Amino acid sequence: MKIHPCYQASFYSMLKAPEHQVAGHLASDGKLGPLVDGSGRFYKPLQGGGRGSKELAFYETFSSDTRVPDHIRKFFPVFYGSQLLEASNGSGLCLHLVLQDIVSGCINPSIIDVKIGSRTWYPEASDDYIKKCLEKDARTTTVSLGFRIAGLQLYEGKESGFWKPGRKEVQSFTVDNVRSVMRRFVSSDSSIGNENPDCSFAPSIYGGSAGILEQLLELKAWFEDQTTYHFHSCSLLILFDKESVLKGSTPVAEVKLIDFAHVLEGKGVIDHNFLGGLCSLIKFVSDVLSESKESSIKADEESEKPHNCTNNGNCT
């Protein structure tokens, strides 16, 4: 294996645990986890139990697969290859995937990590693995919603910083909690005590021709047709830089797929498990968007009423 030219002391001094990782193993506290170099690259150590080499094989196949349309490729992190690096836990050299750091341009991104599918296992897996997945799937919203939130961080502003609930709290999310998170994600007043957040960013983040909903629909159209890949236990991230939105910049909302250790060949069949979950997520997003449109129409009607008039139109 060729050692990358970056393999030197100055390069290592730039590497650090990602600031905005919301799920998975963390490199902080001397554990094994991914690293970023601050210049747009994300280094993910190959996972054990064959999962890492499967994920590498997926990236290699996928990045040269000419059947994947260009407009679909943007939903996947750019793959730059693999590289031997000192592992973050000090265990020595370890092969890392070199990927695009998808939040590298963001200052304070809000991110939701959604594990898609009503089933995180696949028939070829061992009975023990299936049993473990089934139990977790039934405990979370995976079976009921066709997806579960695996992690999140919502930026609330300079003073309160991020709301980033712990793994246990996220795993215990109910359907109502998920609905609430999807609303708070696009609200200016998203602090935890607020039971009715304003969803004021829904039109610009979820809506619009470049918004989350349009991107999800684009991805859905591909999943209705593609029969090459089945994405088991894969995560879909939705994210935007809340900091720049709060400062009045035009928001850039993004949808990205990550975690491909359990991608299998589709063998001519669509990934109905992923597609079903994706459609369920789409419904949640479009529900928040329609509610926000309705409430803004109501607010406009209220503001258009002449002053000092009663509801029946008689002015006093």
Number of residues binding to a copy of itself, judged by CB under 8 A? 26
Per-residue DSSP letters for 61-80? HHHT-TTS-HHHHTTS--EE
Each residue 219-258 as x (binds a copy of itself by CB under 8 A) or -, in order, gives -----xx-x-------------------------------
Cα(216)–Cα(218) distance, integer angstroms: 5
Asked if 267 interacts with a copy of itself (CB under 8 A), we say: yes
Q: How far is the C-alpha of 251 from the C-alpha of 255, rounded, in Å?
A: 13
Q: What span, in angstroms and rounded, lies between the C-alpha atoms of 314 and 283?
A: 41
Tell me if 125 contacts a copy of itself by CB under 8 A.
no
From residue 7 to residue 26, what is the string marking binding to a copy of itself with x (rule CB under 8 A)? --------------------
According to CB under 8 A, which one of 90, 123, 166, 306 is a site residue for a copy of itself?
Answer: 123
One character per residue 150-179, x = contact with a copy of itself (rule: CB under 8 A):
-------------------------x---x
Q: Let me know the angle formed at the C-alpha of 77 by 14 and 152, rounded to the nearest 5 degrees.
A: 80
Span of 8-16, 24-32, 187-195, 276-284 interacting with a copy of itself by CB under 8 A:
276-284
Residue 283 binds a copy of itself (CB under 8 A): yes
Residue 315, interface with a copy of itself (CB under 8 A)? no
Q: Would you tell me the crossing angle of helices 212-223 and 272-304 to the nearest 10 degrees?
A: 150
Nearer to a copy of itself, 80 or 122 (CB): 122
Among 132, 191, 270, 293, binds a copy of itself (CB under 8 A): 270
User: Rounded CA gap, 166 and 142, in Å?
Assistant: 18
Residue 2 backbone dihedrals phi, psi, to 5 degrees: -75, 135
Q: Among 145, 148, 124, which residue's Cα sits nearest to residue 136?
A: 148
Distance CA 237, CA 44 (A): 17
Stretch that binds a copy of itself, among 107-115, 155-163, 246-254, 266-274 (CB under 8 A): 266-274
Coil/strand/helix, residue 29: helix
Token pair belonging to 19: 């600031």
Binding residues (CB under 8 A) for a copy of itself: these are 118-119, 123, 138, 143-146, 175, 179, 224-225, 227, 267-270, 272-273, 275-277, 279-280, 282-283
